[in-house]
Chain A
Amino acid sequence: MANQPRTPRSAAPKGASRVQPTQKRDGKVARGAEQHRLKVKDKSRSYLRHHGDVARESFDSLLRSPLTTLMTLAVLAIALALPATLYTGLKNLQALSVGWQGDPRIALYLQEGVDEVRAEQLSRELLLRDNVAATELISAEQGMLEFKQTSGFGEVFDFLEINPLPAVIMVLPKDLSTAIVPVLQAQLQALDEVEDANVDMLWVQRLEAFVILAQRGVWVLSGLFALAVLLVVGNTIRLTIENRREEIVIAKLVGATDAYVRRPFLYDGFWFGIAGGVLAWLLVQISLLLLDTPVSHLITLYSSNFELSGLGFIETFWLLLASILLGSLGAWLAVGRHLRAIQPT
């Protein structure tokens, strides 16, 4: 706006219009239009007040047609809640798998002939290795006891005369990377006392791969739903603009800037965004509440103390920010496209 020589905005503060008193034919000095000047301080205050007014009016206008507004909000909330729910589900899945992923131990099932003393000794020998962080011996008796407690098939053993379980040494490698663990596993497998060295790595890897795939899926879906939100807001704003065409034309005729005309519609988008975001948050939390009981039942069966977590503070912040931005952007796109077409004729 640097180069506008005689526009009121650069010559005098907004709204000022000066008319010099003119000498009339009858010789009297006409009082003319009185001067009106806005001070710079007043100008910024009036700008803020104007924003407040427009925001409130936009909010009121949405409330004035509650059904339409509610329908739009429902669509927005669902479109936002779906990816948010998937994200939350994925987050819980990851949290669940972290407990297992943390320690990919190598289970050494010892040969039948190895007695308890030798097993104990071997366990200590292994601990001396550089690449072993910890070992734990589970004797055949211990193993049977644990099995009875956790599996629910304890009675089966009562029919057996001997304990069929081998002694097991659990080895925790120092380096847990998927490249190193199999090497250590092969070394341990080669020991005379070891019948079988078993690492439950494969399913962890599969789970990892699945989580990565699901993450990608959530992102793709989020992108699609974000697009849907943009379109829904854009279309709603387009209809509002059409309904207020007359008002826009008159406002432009009496000197409204593009920004002034645009502002109420951008606030519409903002309100749609924030309300849609809050509703989406509610939808996610309610869905999780509904899932909570069956999930905790399932989790007890797996004797884990995992707890279903909803959207945290930061995630809620991102959800609201995203929905506000999407709402405003949708409005901005619609306004940019349609307002230019409305000119006084």
Chain B
Amino acid sequence: MISFENVSKRYPNGYDALNQVDFSLRQGEMAFLTGHSGAGKSTLMKLIMLMERPTNGRVLVGDQDLATLGHRQIPYHRRRVGVVFQNHQLLFDRSVFDNIALPLRICGYDPDDAARRVRAALDKVGLLSKEKMNPVVLSGGEQQRIGIARAIVHKPQLLLADEPTGNLDPKLSVEIMRLFQQFNQVGTTVLIASHDLGLIGRLPHRVLTLNQGRLINDG
């Protein structure tokens, strides 16, 4: 599903964020990406999202070489990927429902169909009753779950999460991870960047460890 072939990323200021990273993730696999801050987790995620381009090497997502995608194709690539952010990136000028419906609107879904899918996504994250609320009144954990609902509402093949439990207490973190496991069980490939080693260690998934831009551990 994801394949990094000898990928390096050097930023214009000379900083080497990734150095010859080589790994692949099978379809339907779930893995954690860990490492200190600045180890290159975010850069790796950005390469998958085409927010950055590698300096060297190839990144493939679902057999598609991302280097062949031009600026105009980036949006269509992103529609295949769901992303969960540490800071939720929710819009506080609209309801929970409208936040989750955004990817569907962008893809041009029929409103009735979209409403059904939004409610299904809300149901999965256990927040069906909050659909009309403004996300600003929700707790941190609830906001994160809204962020997850938005990431999976259009049923992407690949789900990325960047520090999804960064601001949450351990109990909430476990709940969030359980959600990701549920999505993985229905076939979604999941890659989660996290430095919560305690939590990761208790889960039976593959762990990719980055250190100063190099992949030092994969297992």
Name A residues whose Cβ lies closer than 8 Å to a Cβ of B.
Answer: 1, 4-9, 14-15, 17, 19, 21-22, 24, 30-34, 36, 38, 42-43, 46-47, 49-50, 246-247, 249-258, 260, 343-345
Q: Determine which of A8, A19, A38, A247 lies in contact with B79 in the assembled complex, contact meaning CB atoms within 8 Å.
A: A8
Q: CB-nearest residue of chain B relative to A246?
A: B91
A4–B73 contact, CB under 8 A?
yes
Interface: B10 (CB within 8 A): no
4 tightest A-B CB contacts, nearest first: A15-B107, A33-B155, A32-B187, A255-B79
Contact size class for B? 35 or more
A254–B106 contact, CB under 8 A?
yes
Q: Describe B's contact surface by its main secondary structure.
A: loop
Q: Which residues of A contact B111 (CB under 8 A)?
A: 49
Q: Which residues of B contact A260 (CB under 8 A)?
A: 75, 106
Assess A33 versus B187: contact at CB under 8 Å? Given A1-B72, A4-B73. Answer: yes
Give the docked Cα–Cα distance between A249 and B89 (Å).
9
Can you offer 19 A-B residue contacts whose CB atoms are under 8 A? Answer: A4-B73, A6-B63, A6-B64, A9-B76, A17-B156, A17-B157, A19-B188, A24-B185, A32-B186, A33-B155, A33-B157, A38-B110, A43-B108, A47-B108, A254-B78, A254-B79, A257-B75, A260-B106, A344-B51
Assess A255 versus B51: contact at CB under 8 Å? Given A17-B79, A30-B185. Answer: no
A31–B187 contact, CB under 8 A?
yes
Give the docked Cα–Cα distance between A46 and B63 (Å).
30
B79–A15 contact, CB under 8 A?
yes
A17–B154 contact, CB under 8 A?
yes
Taking A17-B156, A38-B110, A255-B77 as known contacts, 8 extra A-B pairs with beta carbons closer than 8 A to each other, sorted by chain A number, are A4-B70, A17-B157, A19-B188, A32-B186, A32-B188, A251-B106, A255-B79, A345-B51
Interface: B33 (CB within 8 A): no
Q: Determine which of A36, A49, A251 lies in contact with B102 in the assembled complex, contact meaning CB atoms within 8 Å.
A: A251
